[in-house]
Amino acid sequence: MSQKTIKQVGVLTSGGDAPGMNAAIRSVVRTGIEKGWAVFGVRRGYEGLINGDYISMNRRSVSNIIQAGGTMLGSARCPEFKTAEGRSKAVRALNQNEIDALVIIGGNGSQTGAHALSEMGVPVVGVASTIDNDLYGSDITIGVDTALDVALEAVDRLKVTASSHQRAFLVEVMGRDCGYLALMIALAGGAEYVVIPEIEIDPEVLAQELVAAYERGKSHALVIVAEGAAYNAEKLASYFKQHEERLGFDLRVTNLGHVQRGGTPNAFDRILATRLGAGATDCLARGEYGVLVGLIRSEVTATPLSEVVTKKKPLDLKLFKLAAVLAK
Ligand code: ADP
Ligand code: F6P
């Protein structure tokens, strides 16, 4: 895409919010202003983009937000943007407001939208941000590390009460159709088993594993279940209930849900977001559009959105085997 003179840049956050999004907004605003551009915040993701809901930002607009979870610009799921008509409305609003380029902070769906805009000729740069860590083009995405911290605090507490009562606990965690969060929580939380979408399990095998753990002298059994697994916590619990007499488990279920998204961003996420936000304005300044800014092998990188939306980031399944060894 040919380089365009940039005077005004928009920044938005879209999809599921993630701790560190505010630090990314702050970085885009301040590094953009440093480059001599006027920066506009777009409210509520693609919804605001379509409706022309843009606010002028200065360096002070992003004061005191680096430590705040959520997103000061708001976020949304916007079905209208998935339609060609919705996207045309967004491009018209951008032109009317003389916004020359956009930084889109979000996950898989948001970057698919960013790619669609880029295909329509809008200079766009994405920033990898989702607690699911399922984006091709970044080893780690903004928000995951804090989400892990939040989930682990809960898991550690559940372990205490599970031990007192010699109980088995199923703990369901987020991640959509990716098992990254569940696997990392299992590893860091010392779980007895982890159920992820990438590996099918038979509930009978899980039951045998739990019995084996008990026979090895364990005082509790903690099973981390990814929400996207074919057997999620609800289905597993109902299977165990149905076969209660035979399996003989006193099983409890905890669904961590949205608690995982609401944390105060930790140091890692603040620094990652700061680096990626700055990387995004650097890309725009170089005329490198239609890319996702992420972190690969600790370096800030730009990967074409065309690759990001067509390739799947693999989960390191060696870690699944390691979790099983360590659970013994
Ligand atoms: P995330 O970005 O966290 O994965 P979603 O999947 O909900 O969250 O996507 C956020 C928004 O991105 C959607 O509400 C929609 O507006 C836009 N989006 C998602 N998929 C597409 C698509 N295939 N084409 C255009 N826009 C999309
Ligand atoms: O993509 C982030 C995420 O938190 C997923 O892990 C989860 O499946 C989804 O968003 C929940 O979305 P909502 O907040 O719309 O219920």
Catalogue all structural domains in the chain, each as residue range(s) with its CATH number. Answer: 8-143+265-308 (3.40.50.450), 145-262 (3.40.50.460)
DSSP tag of 145: H
pLDDT below 70 — which residues of the chain? 1-3
Q: Is any ligand 2 atom within 6 A of the Cβ of residue 42? A: no
> Could you tell me the CA-to-CA distances from 258 to 108, 316, 317 in Å, in that order?
18, 25, 26
Instruction: Please give the distance, rounded to the nearest whole angstrom, from the Cα atom of residue 244 to the centre of ligand 1.
Output: 41
Q: Is any ligand 2 atom within 6 A of the Cβ of residue 134? A: no
Looking at residue 36, its pLDDT comes to: 98
Instruction: Please give the distance, rounded to the nearest whole angstrom, from the Cα atom of residue 188 to the centre of ligand 1.
Output: 30
User: Taking the CB of residue 204, how many other CB atoms lie within 10 A of it?
Assistant: 12
What atom of ligand 2 comes closest to residue 108's alpha carbon?
1
Q: Hey, whose CA ends up nearest to atom 12 of ligand 2? A: 16
Ligand nearest to the CA of 115: 1
What atom of ligand 1 comes closest to residue 87's alpha carbon?
25
Looking at residue 2, its pLDDT comes to: 55
Q: Which amino acids are annotated catalytic?
A: 132
What atom of ligand 2 comes closest to residue 109's alpha carbon?
1
Q: Hey, whose CA ends up nearest to atom 27 of ligand 1? A: 113
> Could you tell me the CA-to-CA distances from 206 to 2, 185, 191, 193, 224 in Å, in that order?
56, 18, 13, 8, 12
Q: What CA–CA distance (Å, rounded) separates 324 from 44?
A: 42
Q: Helix, strand, coil % (nearest 5) of the chain?
A: 45, 20, 35
Looking at residue 248, its pLDDT comes to: 81
Looking at residue 3, its pLDDT comes to: 67
Instruction: Please give the distance, rounded to the nearest whole angstrom, from the Cα atom of residue 314 to the centre of ligand 1.
Output: 21
Structural contact between residues 36 and 5, judged by C-beta atoms closer than 8 angstroms: no
Q: Is any ligand 2 atom within 6 A of the Cβ of residue 17? A: no
Q: Following CA atoms 56, 99, 119, 143 in sequence, which dihedral angle do they give, to the nearest 10 degrees?
A: -20
Q: Is 222 helix (H, G, I), strand (E, B) or coil?
A: strand
Q: What CA–CA distance (Å, rounded) separates 131 from 176?
A: 10
CB neighbour list of residue 205: distance below 8 Å, 6 or more residues apart: none
Instruction: Please give the distance, rounded to the nearest whole angstrom, from the Cα atom of residue 132 to the centre of ligand 2.
Output: 8
Continuous segment of H or E residues that includes residue 55: strand 54-57
What atom of ligand 2 comes closest to residue 175's alpha carbon?
6
Nearest to 43 by CA among 4, 81, 14, 9: 14
